Amino acid sequence: MARRKSGPGIDAQPDTGPDFDPEWCERIRGKLVEWYETAHRDLPWRASRDPYRILVSETMLVQTTVTAVVPFFERFITRFPTIRDLANADEADVLKAWEGLGYYRRARQLHAAGQAIVRDHGGVIPDDPDALRALPGVGRYIAGAILSFAFNIPAPILEANTQRVMARWLAWPDDIKSTRSQARLWEAATRVVPTRDPATFNQAFMELGALVCIPRNPMCLTCPVATECRARELGLQDRLPVATPKAAPLEMSEAAIVVVENGRVLMLRRKPGVLWEGFWEFPTVHRDGPDPARRLIDGCVSTEATLEATMGLSLQVGPVVSSLNYVVTKHKVRMDVHFAIKDSGDLKPGPGHVEARWVDRDEFEQLTRSSATRRAVAALLKAGVLTSEGEWGVLAPRKSR
């Protein structure tokens, strides 16, 4: 492969590197595993080599921290103790158990993977890389984790922590997300994983990234493999890995309307094929933003007119009782929460929804709710305009001006 100048002023050399030296690989393995024996954390999914627990935990850990995942993992495994329990569950129950963890596509894919394992593999998670990667949501990393952790097969792993560590070990100067970089880092991860006890090595590799070789200010002074690290040798540990900055999120604003009637609240279920598919939310007016399908209906100049046009209900919408900000995909959203009461009209789900329902507090708790809806409820409870045990509508809405 051709060499070229890139990154922080050093050559990108895909055909050389410490991983080409078998003695370097051997030293890295020995030092890392020795350190891991005493430094590792006790995590619930490390207690066994059950491939199902590994599939669940690694799916949860994609784009989510260990600390955040631990309580969700334990609840999920209690609710669905085996792959068959997961496969036989309704998708709504799986999403409910996932509620609060975010990135719900992972939950749907995990559910689909469970069904495929029961249907195509007799309920036994395969130990074959191709069969694993054919499962919904199982990419090269999750397949590597299952193969090495559960079956002790020397498969490489590369996720956020280990790709950072590897880029530093190699002093790899290109954008870490580029195709070229990914190919080079996977190649090195394949070379470094040992045939003897790859499970412990891969766990140690990840643990180093989580505890020592952290994104900012890596702890090189106490690092067990500092003498093997090219970034440290070159003084580049704070400048690697190279990553293209993310684009700034697009700003949007919306109004969530808590419509109350006879102690029940109006909830809408989102239609298939949209973000938060199947989740329940308060009627929401999207005041602006880049998605035309989510903007105010043409010709409607107020929240009331928009809701009447979309849902067939005439409402009295009160002033803002709480505001919150949240980030979803590439959007930074400001949500104003209002109470409202119904004046007249027959309820129908608007565009974007398949079902509309009046629910009491008990029913509300059973619904799988979008994170924005859960945040809105938390804001109302915090603001004291909704009691945790009382009915909806403790604050009488006033006519908006």
Q: Please, what is the minimum distance in Å from the beta carbon of residue 211 to ligand SF4?
A: 10
Pick the closer one to ligand SF4 by CB: 227 or 314: 227
Pick the closer one to ligand SF4 by CB: 179 or 217: 217
Q: Please, what is the minimum distance in Å from the beta carbon of residue 230 to ligand SF4?
A: 8
Pick the closer one to ligand SF4 by CB: 89 or 204: 204
Pairing of strands 264-270, 331-345: unpaired
Catalytic position from the list 23, 34, 37, 58? 58
- The secondary structure of 12-64, three-state, reads ECCCCCHHHCHHHHHHHHHHHHHHHHHHCCCCHHHCCCCHHHHHHHHHHHCCC
Name the burial class of residue 56, with classes exposed (0-12), middle (13-18) and buried (19+) by CB atoms within 10 angstroms of its CB: buried
The answer to whether 205 and 157 have CB atoms below 8 angstroms apart is: yes
Pick the closer one to ligand SF4 by CB: 31 or 294: 31
Bridge partners (DSSP) of residue 314 are 344
Q: Please, what is the minimum distance in Å from the beta carbon of residue 223 to ligand SF4?
A: 3
Q: Please, what is the minimum distance in Å from the beta carbon of residue 215 to ligand SF4?
A: 10
Q: What tokens were used for 167?
A: 């880029």
Task: Report the C-alpha gap between 270 and 120 in whole angstroms.
Answer: 31
The SS3 call for residue 357 is strand
The SS3 call for residue 386 is coil
Q: Please, what is the minimum distance in Å from the beta carbon of residue 219 to ligand SF4?
A: 6
Given the rule CB under 6 A, which residues bind ligand SF4?
165, 168, 212-213, 218-220, 223, 225-226, 229, 231-232, 237
Annotated active-site residue 391? The verdict is no
Task: Show which residues are catalytic.
Answer: 58
